[in-house]
Amino acid sequence: MGAQPHLPGPHSHMNEAANVCEASKGGKRAGVKPSSSAAHSSQVHKSKRLKSDLLEASLGYEQTGPANCSKYKRYDEFKCWVCGDQSSGNHYGALTCEACKLFFRRHSSAIMSANSSSSSPTSSSSSASSSSNFAATSNISHCIQRNCQITLQTRSSCPECRYRKCIAVGMGLNRTTFGRHTSIQKSKYNAKCNDLFAEIMKLFVGLKENLANKLINLNDLNLFQLSNLVIPVKVLANPAGSSISSGHGSSVNNMIVNRHDLEAHLFRFYSDVVDLMAPPKQSLSSERVRKIPINILITFCLIFGYNLINDPSDSSAKSLAKSNFNLSTNNFQLKQILKQIKQIEQQFDTFAIRIKIIYFLLIMYTSFSMCSDQLDDYFLFAINNDEVNDIQRTFLDLLNSELDFQKNTVASTRVSLLLKLDQFI
């Protein structure tokens, strides 16, 4: 089964492996253009021209093809969202390699059978429980730090963290797809989008795991510190901290994070997004000040279920009480955001994390585009209700297209979502 005997003629069975590999590769350089236009011109005919054209085009620049282009590592530009290896396609709702595909199937079915046998009615949402009791239901050793980096080399060392990452990137046994892709999925430049998206995903997953070490216990706060809790206590009109955790399900819990810690952990991602979104001329001077606009922080906490506290030990005058960030006027917006988040979590199971990220990006981007001239302002944006409506309409479009994705076999929505992100580049 020699992989590279590139004679134009006898390619009866090799064509799938070969041309998928270089089709995705060919998009980078300009060599793909004449072939496609030629195919278009000759499209008027109805004989077998198309097939031969495709073969010719694929063979035209194949010879530079890397030797690692195996039949099962087709998408050399698409990395596995779990381990970063070359992915072999869309498996269970995520671009993964063959190894992670099989890993997820094995352990998902093992967990499902274990859950069904010990059918405890107290189990909460399926994904969360399956993710949480992974070590309990399977016979894998329990991970202690629970935030192992999953790479190509380390993916076999901690199955629990690997499985949790599979869940985090949205894999699910019911998210299977079948059959050939639609033509948009083959468009070459969604590869870049996938990379971008995977990058953002990685940032967020790591961010959330890192933040877990910095959480503050609610009971450790004194009254003065409680008065500095920014969200969601005041927004939700829960003056006492006792009933915070009962507020909004999994979204709003009593994970309290110091503002300084949050800024430190979020800043890398923040500056990356700013670099993506803002024009280079007004790009954030990254090293000047490691501060993040307060409304960005608030939005982040709202979306991802943290409670933000202004660091009491911070002696700077940046206390929220003295700031010009008017919480009351933004109350409506924040409530709207919370409403959207609830809707997300009802409709999407493990996929909610991705939606949240997209939502957050949308809000960030909109804030930048709204007030791009005030980029240096510490309080970045104060959008009005019309603009909130714009965000929500956009976001609802995204929701609908995600629903379409969930019920369709094709990953078209992901492509469109990523295309949407790709505009910022």
Partner DNA sequence: CAAAAAGGTCACAAGGTCAC
Partner DNA sequence: GTGACCTTGTGACCTTTTTG
- Smallest distance, a copy of itself to C-beta of residue 333, A: 16
Position among 42, 118, 124, 176 found at the interface with a copy of itself (CB under 8 A): 176
Query: H-helix or E-strand containing 365?
Result: helix 352-370
In the region spanning residues 256 to 315, those forming contacts with a copy of itself, defined by CB under 8 A, are 279
Choose one: 35-43, 88-96, 380-388, 410-418; the region binding Zn ion (CB under 5 A). Answer: 88-96
Position among 26, 79, 107, 293 found at the interface with DNA (CB under 7 A): 107
Distance CA 103, CA 271 (A): 34
Contact 106, 159 (CB under 8 A): no
Position among 187, 213, 243, 326 found at the interface with a copy of itself (CB under 8 A): 187
Applying CB under 8 A, does 225 fall inside the site for a copy of itself? no
- Site pattern 226..255 for Zn ion (x: CB under 5 A): ------------------------------
Distance CA 417, CA 369 (A): 19
Peptide bond just before 232 cis, omega within 30 deg: yes
Applying CB under 7 A, does 410 fall inside the site for DNA? yes
Applying CB under 8 A, does 179 fall inside the site for a copy of itself? yes
Applying CB under 8 A, does 36 fall inside the site for a copy of itself? yes
In the region spanning residues 48 to 87, those forming contacts with DNA, defined by CB under 7 A, are 48-51, 70-72
Choose one: 42-50, 199-207, 275-283, 378-386; the region binding DNA (CB under 7 A). Answer: 42-50
- Burial of 43 from C-beta contacts in 10 A (0-12 / 13-18 / 19+): exposed
Q: Which does 40 bind (CB under 5 to 8 A by kind): a copy of itself, Zn ion, DNA, none?
A: a copy of itself
Query: H-helix or E-strand containing 206?
Result: helix 190-211
Q: Which of 58, 131 has the CB closer to a copy of itself? A: 58
Choose one: 222-230, 319-327, 340-348, 400-408; the region binding a copy of itself (CB under 8 A). Answer: 400-408
Applying CB under 7 A, does 179 fall inside the site for DNA? yes
Q: Which does 174 bind (CB under 5 to 8 A by kind): a copy of itself, Zn ion, DNA, none?
A: a copy of itself
- Smallest distance, a copy of itself to C-beta of residue 9, A: 12
Position among 38, 49, 128, 132 found at the interface with a copy of itself (CB under 8 A): 49
Contact 262, 308 (CB under 8 A): yes
Q: Which does 401 bind (CB under 5 to 8 A by kind): Zn ion, DNA, a copy of itself, none?
A: a copy of itself
- Site pattern 282..321 for DNA (x: CB under 7 A): ----------------------------------------
What are the beta bridge partners of residue 257?
215, 308
Q: Which does 423 bind (CB under 5 to 8 A by kind): Zn ion, a copy of itself, DNA, none?
A: a copy of itself
Distance CA 158, CA 137 (A): 15
- Smallest distance, Zn ion to C-beta of residue 254, A: 25
Distance CA 156, CA 162 (A): 8
Q: Which does 88 bind (CB under 5 to 8 A by kind): a copy of itself, DNA, Zn ion, none?
A: DNA
Going by C-alpha positions, the residue among 230, 326, 303, 362 that lies closest to residue 370 is 362
Contact 89, 74 (CB under 8 A): yes
Distance CA 5, CA 11 (A): 9
Q: Which of 101, 259 has the CB closer to DNA? A: 101
Position among 135, 152, 216, 371 found at the interface with a copy of itself (CB under 8 A): 152
Position among 14, 20, 95, 161 found at the interface with Zn ion (CB under 5 A): 161
Please report the DSSP string for 84-148 in residue order. -SEE-SEETTEE--HHHHHHHHHHHHHHHHHHHHT--TT---HHHHHHHTHHHHSSPPPPSSS--
Applying CB under 5 A, does 150 fall inside the site for Zn ion? no
Helices (runs of H) and strands (runs of E) counted in the chain: 15, 8
- Residue ranges in 232-351 assigned as alpha helix (H): 259-277, 294-304, 331-347
212-229 residues labelled b (16+ CB within 10 A) or e (exposed) = eeebbebeebeeebebbb
19: number of Cβ within 10 Å? 19
Contact 355, 402 (CB under 8 A): yes
Applying CB under 8 A, does 424 fall inside the site for a copy of itself? yes
| Interacting residues with DNA (CB under 7 A) | 1, 15-16, 19-20, 24, 46-51, 70-72, 88-92, 97-103, 105-107, 139-140, 155-156, 159, 162, 173, 175-183, 185-186, 409-410
